[in-house]
Structures are given as structure tokens and as C-alpha cells.
A and B are shown apart, each in its own frame.
Chain A
Amino acid sequence: MTLEMYRHGDVGLVRCDALPLNAQREDPPQPDIVLAYGEVTGHAHRILAPHKVSLWNAGQQRYILVEDAPATLTHEEHGPMTLEPGVYEVRIQREYGLGGEIRNVAD
């Protein structure tokens, strides 16, 4: 099995074959889908005007489903990234601390 991964700053996307069976659709509260906010800067990894994009949850994992047409992932500091139709698992970047603790990377 080959793992395809896309990286957009501190957000990683891993290509999947399909949504898990227990995935539930999350209704985003705003018109754009936001994958992660910067804790310090407030900048966001955002999918613009996501007519054909939906966000899904299965347990602690989040997925995005891109249907029909490619979608664009944007961020104030990073270049835009095009996502071809498909299912992606969202991975937030983490870091290994000096004491062995694992924590999310602060943007």
C-alpha cells in the first residue's frame, strides 16, 4: 500500500480510498471549511466556497470529501494547494517534546 500525503504548513492530508463507514458529516458553521486556525496568528487553513467539499468526522479523525471538481486550500502565509476529487484524512502536525510528550505544533 502506498501512502499519499499532502502538506500545507502544519496541516497534512493523507489520501484515503473511501470514508470510514462510521463517518458523520459535520456542518460547518461558516461558509468556508476551516481545517485549522493558527493559535497565535489567527490565520486559517481554509477551503474556499466549498460547494462540492464536505467535512466528516469518525471518532477523533476528520476527513474531507472533494466531489466532482478540484478544490483549493488556502492560508494567509502559504501558497494555495489544489486538491483533486477524493477523500483525505486531515492530520494536524504534532511535535515530540524534550520530556517525551507529544503536542500539536503551535502555528
Chain B
Amino acid sequence: MPTRKAARRGKLERLTPDQEALLPAVRDEWIAIGLDTRPSDRPAAERGVAEMYRRGGLEPPTRIVWCGSPLSMALTRAMVLDRAKGRDSVWDSVRDSVWDSVRDSVWDSVWDSVRDSVRDSVRDSVWDSVWDSVWDSVRDSVWDSVGASVRDSVWASVWDSVGDSVRDSVWDSVWDSVRDSVGDSVWDSVGASVGASVWASVWDSVGDSVRDSVWDSVWDSVRDSVGASVGASVWASVWDSVGGQHDSNWLAHFDFFQRIGLTRQTEKLAGLWQLARAAGWALPHERICWVSERPNLLQLEAVPARGPFANQLHCEDGPALRYPDGWAIYSWHGVRVNEDVITCRPSSITTKRILGERNAEVARVLLERMGAERFATEADGAKVVHRDIDGNGNGSRLLSIPMPNMPDREARVVVVQCPSTDRQYVLGVPPWVATCQAAVAWTFGVDEPGKKDGELIMLKEQ
């Protein structure tokens, strides 16, 4: 099979030392891009958007509209498209149900972007009057005028998402041609040293949370009212989006190949690279492309246990991620929680609130903020299962606290004293543990110290 042989011979099967040395540089550069919190470089991003359309075989959009966050981008699209398609009634219900749960500043941003999106279709005077007026009183009448004029416009029917062309098909084609040009081991090693690291640092910690939060912000509010159709619209926004800076893992992977000479194979990514370096998410449609700002605040902590580049969102006293329009994500060691869970005073957290919290992760965050010691002291109905004196003469207690909402129906904790620091601390243990020593042993991976043929001796503790 001569052709196949020739193709194989042309494959890049090994990296040179210089190319190897480029791996960490590309990795670090794209991690920095992915975590960038500076304001967008709008002219550069808009050039990137145009390039992205051209590389996807499309005319650049006639209009690029900036949004304050991925959430306001999704809401803007839902408003404009649902209006444009005449689905007023759906949106009206959503607007009413989502209204209260999203900050005013986000609505200001949405409004701004909606106005930019339909500007030419509505007389300026209408907008002026909206803009100068108080929200509640004018929104309905404004929507009536926007709805009528937009519905009649020709472009309303052709504003379909072009995410497939500018993103998916570009990815597929670049993927295939790079894959044809490099051997398995090179592909894998670049993937491991660049793509996987950037993924752990950027997407796994930030991008994924942003996507889920956009969804949750709307879904939590609408699922009990109109649910499906608007949920679908926002969901589609999330999936139609180009991740911009948060796509940096794959962009980094292919950027490396571009820099070592596979320029022809990767050229279609030019626009996506440029956009990612300059802005946040984008939502490309046939005539219009919505582009989101980058976050302006990002609080991360490293998670060495998950690898040298792994991050998670964490801030103990404020948002862990915030966009310029005020939309924010609160997170405690990577667990996304409502604002109140982070900002309430620890002294205001009661055992009752923790016991009543249905989400185990949120209960854990509240427990950590309250302090396990206080929780063990104040919890109603806590039962002492076992008492013991450890090798250093300190008392320890095994407690069972009824928690009807949790999977185990109880929290079993061992309260021990550290012999070096004298600090008391509380460790969660499984409900089947029956003695203090068995509880401590379990925390060190010794599951059954009480077995007949085995005996655990804790010789020294420091």
C-alpha cells in the first residue's frame, strides 16, 4: 500500500529538543489567556470574530454586540430571538420569573445589548425614552414597540446560529488534518503536557462553572413556571457559544502544532485564536455575533492533589468570579453556592440551617464556615456513641447527630484533640464506625481494626 506508507512517512513522529522546550511556554501562555481578567481588547476581538466567520466559510456578521457576561449574552439572545420569532408570550413569562433573581446590573447590561442588537429596527426616540425611564414602568410598553418592529423585519427569520460552521466544522477539519500529520505519541504527549494542563487550570475550574452557572441562573427561576421552551433557548445559547478564552485547552494544543510548522493544517483556527486572546465567550449568528466581556475578578486556589496545574474557584468572603455587569459566581473550595452561603456571618449559621440543608455539599460548606467544633457542641439531639482516652491521655468522643435530610440520616463525627497543638477537631466518619479508635483508624484507611485476627495499636501520636 504505497500511498499509506507515504502518508506515514510524512507524519511527525518525534519532537526535537527545541520543540519539547516550547511545550511549557505554550502551556503557560494559554493558561494566562484562559485566566485573563483584563477588559476585552474589543477591536482585536472584533477582528477575530470576522476572521472566525471567514475561516468558517461565512460572511462576517454585520453587527457585533458586546455583553457584560455570558449570562447577559444568553438572556440577550433569548430576548432578541424570541421576540423576533414572535414568541412573545413565552418570553413574557420568563421575564417575569427571572426578573427578580438576576441583579439589576445584569439587566442593565442585557438591556444595553438588546438595544444594540435591534438598534436600527427601532426609532432612536423609543430607545431614548426607555433609557431615561424607570425600568418597571416602561419595560412592557417598550417591549411592545420592539416586538412589533422586529417581528416585521426580514432579518428576524435568518438569525440562526452559525456555531456549527465557525466552530464545530472548523474544529473537525483542523483536528483531522493535524491528526493526519502527527504520530500517536506526539499527539498524546502534546495533549498531556499542554492540553490537559490548560484544561485543568482553565476549563475544569472556571469555564465549566461559568457554563453551569449560566444555566442554573435561569433554570432555577423558570423551571417551575414556563420551563421547557425558554430553558431550551438558554441551553442552546450555552451550547452554541464559542468559549473564547475558556476554550484555551484545545486552542493551546493546536497552537503548539502551528508553532512547530503545521500552519496549513491549523490555519482555520486563526479567528478563534484571535478572539480567545482578546475576549470571553461569543455567540455567533448569521448576521450578528454577541461577544461577552472577560471576567474582571477571579479567585482561584491550586489543587495540588489533582495535578500541578489544577485550580478551583474559591473565595471565603466574596465572589470567586465576577463579570463587569455584576454577574458573579460564589464558590467554596470549588463548590458553587448561593451568595448568601459565602457572605453571611459565620456566627449567624445555626445547626438547624445545616441540618435542614438538602444539598450535602452546601451543608458541608456551611459546616466548615460555622466550625465543626461549634456544630458538635450545639447540634440538637447529638448522641455520644463512644468515649475514650487516647494514648496521650486526651479524651475523645464519637458523636451521632441526626440529619434526616442526608443520605445516611445522621452525621457521625469523632471529636479528637491534636497532641501537638491541643486543638480540638472534628472528623466525619462513616455511620457504621462504633468506637473512637475505629473512627480514627478509618480516617487513615484502616477499615476493620476490630476484626478477630487483627488488632490496631496506635503506638505514637504527634
Interface positions of A (Cβ within 8 A of B): 1-9, 12, 14, 37, 39, 73, 75, 77-81, 91, 93-101, 104-106
Contacts and interface: CB of A to CB of B under 8 A. Distances in A.
Contacts of A93: 427, 443-444
Contacts of A97: 360, 364, 428
B216 interface: no
Interface in B380-415: 403, 406-408, 411-412
Given A97-B364, A98-B403, A78 B462 contact: yes
Given A78-B420, A94-B445, A97-B360, A2 B457 contact: yes
B455 A91 contact: no
B contact patch SS: mixed
Given A12-B445, A95-B429, 6 more contacts: A2-B457, A5-B444, A39-B301, A39-B305, A91-B444, A98-B403
A8 to B, nearest CB: 5
Interface string B448-461: 01000111111111
Given A77-B421, A79-B420, A98-B363, A7 B444 contact: yes
A78 B418 CA distance: 9
B461 A100 contact: no
Contacts of A106: 333
A99 B446 contact: no
Contact of B446 (A5, A73, A101): A5
B355 to A, nearest CB: 10
A92 to B, nearest CB: 8
7 contacts: A2-B456, A7-B440, A14-B444, A37-B304, A78-B421, A91-B445, A93-B443
B361 interface: yes
A95 B427 contact: yes
B78 interface: no
B440 to A, nearest CB: 8
Q: Which of A4, A5, A105, A106 has the most CB of B within 10 A?
A: A5
A87 to B, nearest CB: 15
Contact of A3 (B364, B403, B455): B455
A80 B461 CA distance: 10
Given A98-B367, A98-B428, A105-B443, A3 B462 contact: no
A85 B30 CA distance: 47
- What interface size band does chain B fall in? 35 or more
B360 A98 contact: yes
Given A2-B457, A79-B462, A99-B361, A9 B418 contact: yes
A12 B303 CA distance: 21
Nearest to B302: A39
Contacts of A98: 360, 363-364, 367, 403, 406, 408, 411, 428
Contacts of A6: 458-461
Given A5-B444, A37-B304, A78-B420, A95 B458 contact: no
A43 to B, nearest CB: 11
B446 A9 contact: no
Contacts of A2: 454-457
Given A3-B457, A5-B458, A95 B428 contact: yes
B367 A3 contact: no
A37 B454 CA distance: 31
B342 to A, nearest CB: 17
B441 interface: yes
B208 to A, nearest CB: 19
Nearest to A11: B444
Closest 6 CB pairs of A and B: A99-B360, A12-B444, A78-B420, A91-B444, A96-B428, A7-B461
Contacts of A78: 418, 420-421, 462
B430 interface: yes
A7 B461 CA distance: 5
A6 B428 CA distance: 20
Q: Which of B418, B442, B460, B462 has the most CB of A within 10 A?
A: B462
Nearest to B418: A9
A95 B421 contact: no
A102 B419 CA distance: 25
B449 A7 contact: no
A95 B443 contact: yes
A79 B422 CA distance: 12
A82 B125 CA distance: 82
A95 B421 CA distance: 20
A1 B458 CA distance: 14
Nearest to B401: A98
Contacts of B455: 2-3
B429 A81 contact: no
A37 B441 CA distance: 21
B274 to A, nearest CB: 37
Contacts of A95: 427-429, 443
A20 to B, nearest CB: 16
A5 B457 contact: yes
A72 to B, nearest CB: 11
Nearest to B460: A6
Contacts of B305: 39, 104
B456 A3 contact: yes
B363 A81 contact: no
